[in-house]
Structure 1
Amino acid sequence: MLSGVCIAQSLKIPREPRPGEFDKIVLRLLETPNARAVIMFANEDDIRRILDAAKRNNLTGHFLWVGSDSWGSKISPVLHQERVAEGAITILPKRASVDAFDRYFKSRSLSNNRRNVWFAEFWEENFVCKLGMHGKRPGSPKKCTGRKQHMYY
């Protein structure tokens, strides 16, 4: 317990949830009757399914939801279930550009960035191309040239 705050439960959403899994999670939250705030760090699809389970189990208004930026900057998690999400607090961290990093990153190419094991995949994804036989994009329409055409940020 820290300054009057305690964590009553810590629940995890399975990577591939089975049918009824979200109902079980919501019902487990009810096992601690005095705990009403639910802090969720989850993707928008899982947030939507948790809110839907709360609605299905007649728990609209029961929980105070605190959500991460996966929810706070998007409408899709609450679309058509606004009542169950009413009063939610969502957190969106302040974001800022770091000019020196931006300059460095924009200067990267296939020839000068061999240390970063993910760069080739990033390059293929950004330029919709394939880097030889071992490329990550099977069936890509064009071969990567190594020249920058348009970098999407």
Structure 2
Amino acid sequence: MSTNTRLVETTPERVWEVLSDGWLYPLWVVGASRMRDVDSQWPQVGAELHHSVGVWPALIDDSTSVLEADPGRRIKLHARGWPAGAAEVVITLSPQGAGTLVTIEEEPVSGPATLIPQPVRGLSLRWRNSESLRRLAFIAERRELPTS
């Protein structure tokens, strides 16, 4: 399992807003290149994001589904990204002062990625998820709150 943590300088509510907007997925998830569709129930359990991975013209259509959701606190995803395989990804939001401690835990569960030795796989996942957290922070810290 690979674990990354980052302090995001905004509230858990703002971070959750980004996670709840499935159309933003390829902006912060390293490897996702475009969105094709987002289930209207996202991020409820069972909802799916329909995305593509790779670079044109070698795009592969895939999906990510919600396994568990505790709005504003935690989401567990089944992320598919063939040809590498699939992974379970848990994102946890914890208030920390005026900010949010965001943790991503990722574990490959199927496909060729499970055959890569843990030290090599761990390095790759740590780099990717570190960059994903950096991108998530950029979006969440700059996101405007809706006005009522």
**TM-score, normalization: structure 1?**
0.24
Higher relative contact order (CA 8 A, sep 6+): 2
- Richer in strand (by share): 2
**TM-score, normalization: structure 2?**
0.25
